[in-house]
């Protein structure tokens, strides 16, 4: 058995994605296990890389980058909402329609799972709880740095109790719904996210069980960056580093298409 792994870093989101694509494209079988991509400035994009990624998605008839990003964070709805509560209320109101309009969303979207997670008590806004907890910690002397996770266990008790206190270093809120997500493939590939306080900055780690770098990779990175920015702004912090960890990463495009992508991403002279 050959287990290929890699760690990639990039200043901007675009650079980190392109470097990850390049590394995996050269790997045996064009796949890596346990890949880590670190993005120093998640909010930054390089115009030529984004344009090339948009071009390749269209050539392969893949969803647009913004379509993929919106499953993690609905940027247009957020921009026209006054605060997180309004964003959540509006998204929940349209959630059934979003799921019905696109068969890829029939099980839900990642943002839907974050703000309307199914529980025995009804839907639960996990992001609001995360923002509340961050605000409480920031107001205290010596706030804990690593206890803010969007994970895989069910919030609250089976009898409708309040969300229990977590051990230090852990705050879990689900993306994966145990009773609903029985398929071994497809949604949700994003397992959990965790947030770390670092002075006046907020970092984030996202863990995927599988990542298709061309069909969904750039859009995933963009959606995660927008999610991190939303939470950071909601609690008055700077956007920190984004790290994406994937159990399996593949380059889902022919090699000649990747060569064309790399040519198109060269800066203009």
Q: Give the span between the Cα atoms of 192 and 197, in whole angstroms.
A: 17
Contact 201, 240 (CB under 8 A): yes
206 close to 242: Cβ distance less than 8 angstroms: yes
User: Is there a contact between 197 and 143 (Cβ–Cβ < 8 Å)?
Assistant: yes
Domains of the chain, start order: 6-264 (3.30.572)
Q: What are phi and psi of 209, to 5 degrees?
A: -80, -30
Task: Give pLDDT tens digits along the chain (269 positions).
Answer: 555 667 899 999 999 999 999 999 999 999 999 999 999 999 999 999 999 999 999 999 999 999 999 999 999 999 999 999 999 999 999 988 988 888 778 778 899 988 887 777 777 888 998 999 899 888 887 666 665 665 433 444 333 334 333 433 333 344 544 445 444 444 468 888 899 999 899 999 999 989 999 999 999 999 999 999 999 999 999 999 999 999 999 999 999 999 999 999 987 65
């Amino acid at each position: 058995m050959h287990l290929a792994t890699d760690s990639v870093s990039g200043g901007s989101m675009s650079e980190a994605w392109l470097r990850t694509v390049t590394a995996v494209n050269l790997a045996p079988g064009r796949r890596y296990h346990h890949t880590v991509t670190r993005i120093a400035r998640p909010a930054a994009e390089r115009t030529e890389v984004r344009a090339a990624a948009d071009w390749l998605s269209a050539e392969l008839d893949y969803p647009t980058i913004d379509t993929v990003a919106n499953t993690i964070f609905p940027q247009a709805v957020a921009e026209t909402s006054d605060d997180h509560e309004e964003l959540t209320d509006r998204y929940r109101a349209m959630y059934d329609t979003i799921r019905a309009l696109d068969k890829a969303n029939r099980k839900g979207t990642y943002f839907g799972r974050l703000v309307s997670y199914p529980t025995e008590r009804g839907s639960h806004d996990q992001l609001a709880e995360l923002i509340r907890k961050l605000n409480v910690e920031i107001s205290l002397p010596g706030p804990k740095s690593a206890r803010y996770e969007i994970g895989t266990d069910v919030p609250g008790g089976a009898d409708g109790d309040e969300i229990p206190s977590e051990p230090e270093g852990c705050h879990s809120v689900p993306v994966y719904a145990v009773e609903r997500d029985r398929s071994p493939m497809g949604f949700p590939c994003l397992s959990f996210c965790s947030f770390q306080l670092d002075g006046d900055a907020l970092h984030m780690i996202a863990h995927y069980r599988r990542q298709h770098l061309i069909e969904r990779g750039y859009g995933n990175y963009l959606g995660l960056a927008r999610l991190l920015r939303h939470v950071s702004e909601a609690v008055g912090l700077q956007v920190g580093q984004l790290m994406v960890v994937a159990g399996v990463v593949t380059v889902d495009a022919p090699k000649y298409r990747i060569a064309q992508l790399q040519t198109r991403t060269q800066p203009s002279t």
